Amino acid sequence: MRSPSTRRTAGGEPISSEVTDRPITLSQVARRLEDSGSGAVVLFVGRVRPEVQAGRRLTGLDYEADRRMALARLSDLERQARRRFGTRRIHVVHRIGRLRVGTASVIIGVAAAHRSMAFEAARFLIEELKREVPIWKTDRWARGPTGRRRRTRRRPRGARSPG
């Protein structure tokens, strides 16, 4: 379930997004941003946030993706960010599958000449990812008072932001 590590757009730009069912780490993303011309590196990590509702505790989230389209949309967003903010390196990884509370679900890394470009591009990427990339999460709750494990409704879009 891993994407090839180096792909290029028609224009020859490297595209590096990944959608994977394996654990994702900061070092894996940071490695892809090494670039002597960048004065700033911003790393954003989105994690599964603990939550309690009506006395029940969230144990985790199930993530799923339309993988092929998600990669295409992520590549698109990388291109847009590069154009808008003039960044030098971008690497986005999103994890799918069953994730426990506290686990990293998404990591976005941006390297740019100056910090403002890097911060703005990272912000742009996470906001657009949530709106435009075909990835979904479903809540998983601990056993409720009825003793039954319930899979409940999906939160409306944007109701849960990482971090």
Partner 1 sequence: MPLAERKRRQEAWMTRTVQLTLFATAREAVGASRLERAVPSTGVRLDTLLESIAEEHPRLRPILRNARVARNGEYVVGKRLRVRPGDEIAIHPPYSGG
**Residues in contact with partner 1 by the rule CB under 8 A:** 46, 63-66, 68-70, 72, 94, 105-106, 126, 129-138, 154-158, 160-162
With beta carbons less than 8 A apart as the criterion, state whether 99 and 59 touch: no
Q: For CA atoms 50, 25, 78, 63, give the dihedral sign.
A: negative
Of 67 and 82, the one with the shorter C-beta distance to partner 1 is 67
Of 79 and 130, the one with the shorter C-beta distance to partner 1 is 130
Residue 105 CA to residue 127 CA, distance in Å, equals: 14
Of 14 and 134, the one with the shorter C-beta distance to partner 1 is 134
User: Nearest-5° angle of CA 92, CA 94, CA 96?
Assistant: 165
The least distance separating partner 1 from the CB of residue 68, rounded to whole angstroms, comes to 6
Of 111 and 135, the one with the shorter C-beta distance to partner 1 is 135
Phi-psi region of 19 (alpha: psi -120 to 50; beta: other; left: phi over 0): beta
Query: Please, is 49 exposed, middle or buried when counting C-beta atoms within 10 Å of its C-beta (0-12, 13-18, 19+)?
Result: middle
Of 100 and 136, the one with the shorter C-beta distance to partner 1 is 136
The least distance separating partner 1 from the CB of residue 5, rounded to whole angstroms, comes to 17
The least distance separating partner 1 from the CB of residue 82, rounded to whole angstroms, comes to 21
The least distance separating partner 1 from the CB of residue 76, rounded to whole angstroms, comes to 12
Strands 18-20 and 89-95, how do they pair?
parallel
The least distance separating partner 1 from the CB of residue 75, rounded to whole angstroms, comes to 13
- Two tokens, residue 65: 């993706």
